[in-house]
Amino acid sequence: MATRRKAASNEATTIVNAFDAPPCNATSLRLAARRLGNLYDDALANSGLKSTQFSLMVEIARLGAANAGLAPTLQDLATRLAIQISALTHAMRPLVRDGLVVLQPDATDGRTKRAALTDAGLQQLEAAAAHWADANARVEAVLGADAAATLRALADRVSSDEFLAAFNQASSAK
């Protein structure tokens, strides 16, 4: 399996064997994310939440608590989760439909929506937390505390604005 790539310095074409390509960081991370997502989904199955829903509800609660109880805007949530607003609203539909999250207009700007957990949402989140904690402890036990901490630190670094800026700087430096 070969692909053709034009060299940046001239019009020559270089043959690159795809099997000899360096390991793909994105593929490795996606595979790991899928595996962990499936493990956490299985652990949360009895709670009625998927891991993505659990994480979204945790962020709604976390951002609200950090802002003196004021529910986060959808933009704040999207920024924190590094996703587009359209993807966020798609992910929230089942939570809103099931009465776990409510979308409210902002008191000062009616165009801005805020996401808040309902009482039912808080109860379901609390019930799911034990299942999540069990899965998290099992992952930590399998990886070991140091490797799990390193995994989280690297994932946090890659998802940071600083990494994005450095990545963009590296591509413009070529």
At 120-149, the pLDDT tens digits run: 999 999 999 999 999 999 999 999 999 999
For the stretch 14-38, pLDDT in tens is 556 767 777 889 999 999 999 999 9
Domain of 137, in residue numbers: 24-143
- The answer as to whether 58 is a domain residue is yes
**How large is the average pLDDT for residues 56-82?**
95
Structural domain contains residue 118:
yes
142, amino acid identity: V
Domain assignment present for residue 106? The answer is yes
Q: Look at the chain and report how many structural domains it folds into.
A: 1
Where is average pLDDT lowest: 1-15, 34-48, 84-98? Answer: 1-15
Among 41, 62, 44, residue whose Cα is nearest residue 116? 62
Q: What is the pLDDT of residue 42?
A: 97
- Within 10 A of 3 (CB to CB), how many other CB atoms are there? 10
Task: Assess if residue 17 is contained within a domain.
Answer: no
For the segment 62-84, the average pLDDT, to the nearest whole number, is: 94
H/E element holding 117? strand 113-117
* 68 assigned to some structural domain: yes
Residue 76, in any domain of the structure: yes
Q: Can you state the angle between helices 74-81 and 51-66, rounded to 10 degrees? A: 120
Q: What confidence score (pLDDT) does residue 156 get?
A: 92
Q: Kindly state whether residue 160 falls inside one of the protein's structural domains.
A: no
Of the candidates 110, 101, 29, the one whose C-alpha atom is nearest the C-alpha of residue 58 is 101
Structural domain contains residue 166: no
CATH number reported for the structural domain that contains residue 40 in this entry: 1.10.10.10
What amino acid is encoded at 3 in this protein?
Answer: T
